[in-house]
Amino acid sequence: MIRLTPIIAALIGVSPALADPLYCSTSFQGYRVCQDSHGYRSTEWNRDGMTIGQDNDGNHWSSWRWRDTTVTTISPPGR
The string of pLDDT tens digits covering residues 26-78 is 999 999 999 999 999 999 999 999 999 999 999 999 999 999 999 999 998 66
| Domain residue extents for the chain | 5-75
**Could you give the residue ranges of the DSSP H alpha helices within the chain?**
5-12
Residues in the chain: 79
Q: Classify burial at 33, counting beta carbons within 10 Å of its beta carbon; exposed 0-12, middle 13-18, buried 19 or more.
A: middle
Global pTM?
0.65
Q: Collect all residues with Cβ–Cβ distance below 8 Å to 79 and sequence separation of at least 6.
A: 58
What CA–CA distance (Å, rounded) separates 54 from 76? Answer: 10
